[in-house]
Amino acid sequence: MTIERDARLREVQSWGSFFRFGIDAPAVGKDARPGQFVMVKVSDGTAPLLRRPLGIHDADAGGFDLFFSIVGRGTEALSRKAPGDRLDVIGALGKGFTMPAPAEGKTAYLVGGGRGIAPLYFLARELARAGARPIVFYGGRTRDEIPIRDRFERAGIEVRCSTDDGSFGFAGFVTALVDQELIKSRPAKVYACGPDRMMKALAGITARHAVPAEFSLESIMGCGIGACWGCVQRIRNESGDGWVKICEEGPVFPGERILWP
Amino acid sequence: MAVTTRPVDLTADLGFLRLRNPVLTASGTFGYGLEFEPYLDLAKLGGIVVKGLYYHPREGNPPPRLVETPSGLINAIGLQGVGVEAFAAKVLPRLRAIDTAVIVNVCGADDDEYAAVVEFLDAQEGIAAYELNISCPNVKKEGACPALAPEPTFELVKLVKSVSRRPLITKLSPNVTSIIEIAQAAAEAGTDAVALVNTFLAMAIDLETRRPRLGNVYGGLSGPAIKPIALRMVHQVASRLTVPVIGLGGIMTGADALEFLVAGAAAVEVGTASFVDPDAAARIIGEIVSWCEAHGVAAVRDLVGTLAVP
């Protein structure tokens, strides 16, 4: 983890309110693991004041990618950055996904809703590289909310899409699509990132099918490095349950430990 | 001919404690200090004021605990923490190895707990002073705390002072009509210094759902938005009391810190800035040095209380 004050925005792709940034930042990229995040400064002034936590969408020795959507003033300010702009980021932060033991043909389901798909691309690539078989379940409200499905396909990763309005792929929630699939087959693990409501529903489904699952949680964060105790989730531990910092002990937690609100 | 200049004397004098430089990190914004080791050299700091400690581990408030407002941050963490035993066993030995002043922020649900925390910590080595937290606004829902009135401030400071073998800094709340009266009460009770200000009781509303944005409804506002008010309070207290003042509230830059010194603070604490930039305190020290060099100031402490008021 390091402060990279001179990261450079290399490439911007956008689809409505969704954005993909390619960022040159070797200090952050070289050690990043799937499921980790960065804290990005979105303004040079004091409004917005705080950095924004964003999941690492992809990474290599040269830098990393972000995939995000505009949800407030911070991400709106970030979306206005242009190629060549300097970016000030801290990363890679948090603990990432636990990778299953690499075994040829071992299947993992990766379930992403909306902007929650962001960290799953990096994870899918790493799983594939390790010899596992990632299958991505990608859900959005409409066709416009699943913009990077072809990015997975270009990387040789199988994607199954769902839209709530039925405008593309399976008609209905992505959780229903996964449930349907779990009746037929049992992957080594389910990984998910998306709205809390989606993940809570998915946690019920994976528990019912007795499949281990890991969920990447989103939260408002003050610092991202474990100092402010602002981002907490109720987590079950050996010693009972309590508020645990998402930034430090997460953002990824095993399904059976998360006590959903 | 080579021009040689003597390095700026950065030392700060609190009377009971001499600091390497006047920049401390504010409690609640710097964790237990160790979280920041990857980002700055902790030995370069004037001191570290660690997160508030209750005797027992504490749960804190339900989320959401943070909400950002224009140039500010409202928090309602509720002082979640590890308690004194875990602090002494796991954190303090590592802090002790760092060559800086470690100041422990002391909390309590009642007078007995404050005293118990101090008595426990008195048996531990490697603590330079205590900062008495009688002013956290988001532990109780309406922000109630001893620092809202002179009498409970006096009583609590007196009690803690009587059981403590270490110097005591009393951290005051700005949520009062007369900060001077409260500071006077703390001084009369024997506090060795006052730190002001803690956060301002505040709230934020989600208009769409018409619900408060914080789980605790109210929280404490910090950040650059509060600096002018904190500065005023520091000036009011420092110009009337003889007890040393530590100033804090929205310090983001070296210039901000220097303004507090000029207003009368003998030292400052950097708070919310450390969330934005984990190395903010180190940067601020560097900016103080640069400013002093550019302005021919030989010793930073010479600036304390030099505000020219018409």
Instruction: Say which of B59, B224, B274 has its CB closest to residue A227.
Output: B274
Would you say A41 and A87 are in contact if contact means Cβ atoms under 8 Å apart? yes
Instruction: State yes or no: pLDDT of B253 exceeds 70.
Output: yes
Residue B4 has pLDDT above 90, yes or no: no
- Which has the closest alpha carbon to A10: A78, A86, A115? A86
Asked if pLDDT for residue A227 goes beyond 70, the answer is yes
Three-class SS of residue B39? coil
Instruction: Report the pLDDT averaged over residues A10-35.
Output: 97
User: For tokens 């929650």, what's the residue?
Assistant: A116
Q: How far apart are CA B93 and CA B80, in angstroms?
A: 21
Mean pLDDT of B142-149: 81
What pLDDT, on a 0 to 100 scale, did the predictor assign at position A239? Answer: 79
| C-beta atoms of B278 and A222 within 8 A | no
Residue found by looking up tokens 């509720």 in the block: B78
Across the range A214-224, mean pLDDT stands at 97
Closest CA to A42 of A92, A86, A94, A93: A86
Q: Are B176 and B150 in contact (CB under 8 A)?
A: no
Report how far residue A163's alpha carbon sits from residue A109's, in angstroms, rounded to the nearest whole number. 18
Which residues face A91 on adjacent strands? A2
pLDDT, residue B54, reads 96
Q: Categorize the per-residue pLDDT at B122 as very low, low, confident or very high, splitting at 50, 70 and 90.
A: very high
| Among B59, B70, B77, beta carbon nearest to A230 | B77
| Residues of A whose CB is below 8 A from B59 | 242-243
Residue B146 is predicted with a pLDDT of: 86
Query: SS3 sequence, chain A?
Result: CEEEEEEEEEEEEEECCEEEEEEECHHHHCCCCCCCEEEECCCCCCCCCCCEEEEEEEEECCEEEEEEECCCHHHHHHHCCCCCCEEEEEEEECECCCCCCCCCCCEEEEEEEHHHHHHHHHHHHHHHHCCCEEEEEEEECCHHHCCCHHHHHHCCCEEEEEECCCCCCEECCHHHHHHHHHHHCCCCEEEEECCHHHHHHHHHHHHHCCCCEEEECCCCCCCCCCCCCCCEEEEEECCEEEEEEHHHHCEEEEHHHECCC
Amino acid A105: pLDDT: 65
Q: How far apart are CA B237 and CA B172, in angstroms?
A: 11
| Of B263, B267, B142, B107, nearest in space to B192 by CA | B267
Average pLDDT over residues A229-240: 91
- Taking an 8 Å cut-off on Cβ atoms, the answer to whether A227 and B72 are in contact is no
> A243 and B71 in contact by Cβ < 8 A?
no
Question: What is the number of CB-based contacts under 8 A between chain A and chain B?
Answer: 93
pLDDT of B147 higher than 90: no
- pLDDT of B2 > 90? The answer is no
Contact A109, A162 (CB under 8 A): no
φ, ψ at B205 (rounded to 5°): -120, 135
Give the H/E segment covering residue B53: strand B47-53
Share of chain A above pLDDT 90, in %: 94
Q: What is the DSSP letter of B304?
A: T
Q: Which two tokens stand for residue A149?
A: 């499905």
Query: What is the rounded average pLDDT of the residues B264-269?
Result: 98
Residues of chain B positioned with their CB less than 8 A from the CB of A223: 35, 274-275, 278
Instruction: Say if residue A217's pLDDT is above 70.
Output: yes
Q: Tell me the three state secondary structure of residue B95.
A: helix
Query: Cα angle vertex A243, ends A235, B117, to 5°?
Result: 135
Of A47, A230, A233, nearest to B71 by CB-CB distance is A47
- Among residues B154, B48, B52, B157, the alpha carbon closest in space to that of B103 is found at B48
Q: Average pLDDT of chain B?
A: 95
pLDDT exceeds 70 at position B3: no
pLDDT score at A99: 86
Determine the Cα–Cα distance for residues B249 and B199; give it in Å rounded to an integer: 8
A225 has pLDDT over 80:
yes
What is residue B104's three-state secondary structure? Answer: strand
Residue B144 has pLDDT above 90, yes or no: no
So what's the ipTM on this one? 0.95
CB neighbour list of residue B232: distance below 8 Å, 6 or more residues apart: none
For residues B290 and A240, which has the higher predicted lDDT (pLDDT)?
Answer: B290
- Dihedral of CA atoms B65, A46, B29, B205 in degrees, nearest 10, equals -20
Question: Cis peptide leading into A251, omega within 30 of 0?
Answer: yes
The SS3 assignment for B107 reads coil
CB contacts, 8 Å: A231 with chain B: 63, 65-66
- Which chain A residue lies closest to B34 (C-alpha atoms)? A227
Q: Is B220 helix (H, G, I), strand (E, B) or coil?
A: strand
Q: What is the pLDDT of residue B97?
A: 96
For the stretch B28-78, pLDDT in tens is 999 999 999 999 999 999 999 999 999 999 999 999 999 999 999 999 999
Cβ-defined contact of B252 to A51 (cutoff 8 Å):
no
Residues A32-37 have a mean pLDDT of 98
Are the Cβ atoms of B71 and A46 closer than 8 angstroms?
yes
In chain A, residues with a C-beta closer than 8 Å to the C-beta of B28 are 228
Q: B156: pLDDT confidence band, cut at 50, 70 and 90? A: very high
Pure H helices in B21-178: 83-86, 92-96, 111-122, 150-163
Chain B interface with A: residues with Cβ < 8 Å:
28-31, 35-36, 38-39, 51, 59-60, 62-68, 70-73, 75, 77, 80, 223-225, 252, 272, 274-279
Residues A54-71: pLDDT tens digits? 999 999 999 999 999 999
pLDDT of residue A100: 78
pLDDT in tens, A157-209: 999 999 999 999 999 999 999 999 999 999 999 999 999 999 999 999 999 99
Cα A158 to Cα A156: distance, rounded to the nearest angstrom = 7
In the predicted model, what is the mean pLDDT of chain A?
95
Question: Which of B29, B60, B276 is facing A49, going by the closest CB pair?
Answer: B276
Active site residue B292: no
Find tokens 């593309």 and name the residue: A168
Q: Which residues of B touch A90 (CB under 8 A)?
A: 39, 278
Asked whether the predicted pLDDT for residue B1 surpasses 60, the reply is: no
Residues A96-132 as b/e (b if ≥16 CB within 10 A, e otherwise) read bbebbeeeeebbbbbbbbbbbbbbbbbbbbbbbeeeb
DSSP string, B254-298: HHHHHHHHHHT-SEEEE-THHHH-TTHHHHHHHHHHHHHHHTT-S
